[in-house]
């Protein structure tokens, strides 16, 4: 069934429910001297390239490959369109390795036809903090699909992760292979219902008119919570304390320090937005919310080519009810002209999704760990991790 994944140190479908298997690494690390020193072989006419994402030219090549060949919805109506600034942010967190940004080119023309990336992350699984790679942006050009290039890409990134003495990875995908640690549901909150319906992202509900639908999704002009403001650099220590405490309650979550919070959560225009509540009395930071920007290209529509989407990232409430905090997040997203606000049912998100008029999407997101066995699948609410 899964000729490649059956050979990898991942939980296998046949082992589901086997209580003799314990939680933790599947294979032990090997001495670095035993890690293969040369890249895996590619088919003739192709070559590896390590991508310098700071170079405008390289970044543009990667951007173009992804903009035309990366993830689409199940009906091929929309395709993710990560911006260049987003890619730079996503691929250069503290301690990143350039060698983990891997492209494949056609030797003769130098055209980029495949890509995969890793970034380092400390991920806590229950009580243990594991130094891992987060793998993302696996992409093979549409014309080179189903030729078993993806397994070579995965083995090569694995080798380069091993060379840095890391032996585990985390990744997400919309498709199933051995073996998800959790399966999450995407939810969507219409901000611009007319456009969403026009482009086929959503449908007019039964017994609903356009004007009733627009009224249903209407939001206040400005946010409601006193002390709600954009996060600033001087907030990093307080936000780090808030988020560390919050994430400690989940079974799987990143172990963020101040450098990580500065990188991942400080606002960057059209990439990451973050807001917090500073108590007007005590000036304490009590609540936090964030979303990242990931538009869809709209494929083959006569009048619209881009759908502006915000994705819920990390949110923490200690004083402001989470529902009110996320309602304010919707209001700022609407002010900033997003068409839709998306969220997964991870962490405590289920507590606000229905009430704030999110509806379930047609997509699911499966979470995976490489070389780390979980005894049981987790519920989405036990996950404290959001990947880009
Ligand atoms: S998920 C997004 C993945 N990208 C896309 O969906 C873009 C559009 N699709 C494509 O470009 C986020 C191609 O269809 C891809 C597959 C490249 C997906 N993950 O070359 P073949 C990520 O980036 C398996 C893992 O013939 P293809 C996460 C498939 O099950 N495996 O297929 C990435 C089969 O194996 P099997 C995937 O369609 C995580 C084999 O690939 C997969 O031409 C990577 C077929 O290969 C996917 N998304 O290319 C794993 N899609 O055993 C990281 C298919 O079933 C692991 N496959 O026969 C950890 C590494 C680091 C470890 C460090 C210690
Ligand atoms: C990991 N880093 O299919 C990347 N998205 O529901 C891999 N559907 O936007 C991620 N088909 O349901 C891969 N509208 C998995 C995600 C791939 C992208 C994807 C789904 C998630 C999505 C939309 C559009 C569907 C178009 C037809 C969807 C319904 C919205 C509606 C709004 C009103 C209330 C009910 C729901």
CA gap 184, 235 in Å, rounded: 31
∠ CA 383-334-221, nearest 5°, is 125
Pocket of ligand 1 (CB under 6 A): 2-5, 69-71, 133, 135-140, 145-151, 154, 157-158, 161, 167-169, 171-173, 175, 177, 370-371
**3.55.40.20, 3.40.630.30, 3.90.1150.10, 1.10.8.50: CATH of 5-171:** 3.40.630.30
Q: What is residue 306's predicted lDDT score, i.e. its pLDDT? A: 98
CA of 361 to the centre of ligand 2 (A): 5
> pLDDT tens, 318-371?
999 999 999 999 999 999 999 999 999 999 999 999 999 999 999 999 999 999
Q: Which of 202, 217, 307 to mutate to test the pocket of ligand 2 (most atoms within 8 A of CB)?
A: 202
Q: Which of 7, 166, 173 to mutate to test the pocket of ligand 1 (most atoms within 8 A of CB)?
A: 173
Mean pLDDT of 161-182: 98
CA gap 307, 294 in Å, rounded: 9
Residue 359 CB–ligand 2 contact under 6 Å = yes
| DSSP secondary structure letters along 348-385 | TTHHHHTTTT-EEEEEEEEEEEES-B-SSPPPGGGB--
CA of 189 to the centre of ligand 2 (A): 11
| Nearest alpha carbon, ligand 2 atom 17 | 73
| Nearest alpha carbon, ligand 2 atom 7 | 173
> pLDDT tens, 270-281?
999 999 999 999
Q: What is residue 240's predicted lDDT score, i.e. its pLDDT? A: 99
Residue 165 CB neighbour total at 10 angstroms:
11
User: Residue 292: what are its φ and ψ, rounded to 5°?
Assistant: -110, 160
> pLDDT tens, 120-135?
999 999 999 999 999 9
CA of 98 to the centre of ligand 2 (A): 31
Name residues whose C-beta falls within 8 Å of residue 32's C-beta, 6 or more positions apart in sequence.
162, 163, 165
Structural domain spans, the chain: 5-171, 183-382
Do residues 160 and 351 lie in contact, with contact meaning Cβ atoms separated by under 8 Å? no
Q: Is the pLDDT of residue 19 over 90?
A: no
Max Cα distance, the chain (Å): 67
| Nearest alpha carbon, ligand 1 atom 41 | 150
Q: Is the pLDDT of residue 39 over 90?
A: yes
CA gap 179, 237 in Å, rounded: 37
| Nearest alpha carbon, ligand 1 atom 62 | 158
Residue 185 CB–ligand 2 contact under 6 Å = no
Q: Which listed ligand is nearest to 161 at the C-alpha?
A: 1
Q: What is residue 45's predicted lDDT score, i.e. its pLDDT? A: 97
∠ CA 355-174-10, nearest 5°, is 120
Task: Answer yes or no: same fold for 5-171 and 183-382.
Answer: yes
Instruction: Please give the share of the chain, as a percent, with pLDDT higher than 90.
Output: 98
Q: What is residue 17's predicted lDDT score, i.e. its pLDDT? A: 86
∠ CA 263-137-364, nearest 5°, is 95
Q: Which listed ligand is nearest to 1 at the C-alpha?
A: 1
Residue 71 CB–ligand 2 contact under 6 Å = yes
Residue 75 CB–ligand 2 contact under 6 Å = yes
Q: Is the pLDDT of residue 154 over 90?
A: yes
> In the beta sheet, which residues pair with residue 370?
169
Q: What is residue 91's predicted lDDT score, i.e. its pLDDT? A: 98
Q: Which listed ligand is nearest to 297 at the C-alpha?
A: 2
| Nearest alpha carbon, ligand 2 atom 2 | 388
Catalytic residues, by residue number, are: 388
CA of 44 to the centre of ligand 1 (A): 21
Which atom of ligand 1 is closest in space to residue 117's alpha carbon? Answer: 23
Q: What is residue 364's predicted lDDT score, i.e. its pLDDT? A: 98
Please provide the average confidence, as pLDDT, over all residues in the chain: 98
The hierarchical CATH code for the domain 183-382 is: 3.40.630.170
Residue 299 CB–ligand 2 contact under 6 Å = no
> pLDDT tens, 222-256?
999 999 999 999 999 999 999 999 999 999 999 99
CA of 217 to the centre of ligand 2 (A): 18
């Amino acid at each position: 069934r899964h000729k490649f994944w059956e050979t990898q140190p991942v939980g296998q479908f046949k082992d589901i429910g086997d209580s003799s298997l314990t939680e933790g690494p599947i294979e032990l690390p090997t001495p670095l001297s035993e890690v293969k020193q040369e890249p895996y072989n590619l088919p003739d006419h192709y070559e590896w390239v390590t991508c310098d994402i700071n170079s405008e030219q390289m970044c543009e090549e990667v951007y173009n490959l992804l903009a035309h060949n990366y993830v689409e919805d199940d009906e091929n109506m929309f395709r993710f369109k990560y911006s260049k600034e987003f890619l730079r942010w996503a691929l250069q967190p503290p301690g990143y390795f350039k060698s983990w940004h891997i492209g494949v080119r056609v030797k003769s023309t130098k055209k980029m036809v495949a890509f995969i990336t890793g970034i380092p992350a400390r991920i806590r699984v229950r009580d243990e903090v594991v130094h891992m790679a987060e793998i993302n942006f696996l992409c093979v050009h549409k014309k080179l699909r189903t030729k078993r290039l993806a397994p070579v890409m995965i083995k090569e990134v694995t080798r380069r992760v091993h060379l840095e003495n890391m032996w585990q990875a985390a990744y997400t995908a919309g498709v199933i292979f051995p073996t998800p640690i959790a399966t999450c549901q995407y939810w969507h909150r219409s901000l611009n219902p007319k456009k969403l319906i026009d482009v086929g992202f959503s449908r007019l509900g039964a017994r609903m008119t356009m004007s009733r639908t627009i009224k249903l999704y209407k939001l206040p002009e400005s946010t409601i919570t006193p002390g709600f403001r954009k996060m600033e650099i001087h907030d990093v220590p307080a936000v780090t304390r808030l988020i560390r405490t919050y994430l400690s309650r989940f079974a799987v979550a990143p172990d963020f320090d101040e450098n990580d919070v500065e990188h991942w959560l400080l606002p960057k225009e059209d990439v990451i937005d973050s807001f917090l509540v500073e108590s007007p009395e005590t000036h304490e930071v009590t609540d936090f919310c964030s979303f990242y920007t990931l538009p869809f290209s709209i494929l083959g529509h006569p009048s619209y080519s881009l759908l502006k989407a915000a994705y819920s990232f990390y949110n923490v409430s200690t004083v402001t009810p989470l529902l009110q905090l996320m309602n304010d997040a919707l209001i700022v997203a609407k002010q900033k002209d997003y068409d839709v606000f998306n969220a997964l049912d991870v962490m405590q998100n289920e507590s606000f999704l229905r009430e704030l008029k999110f509806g379930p999407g047609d997509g699911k997101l499966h979470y995976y760990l490489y070389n780390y066995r979980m005894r049981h699948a987790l519920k989405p609410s036990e996950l404290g991790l959001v990947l880009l």
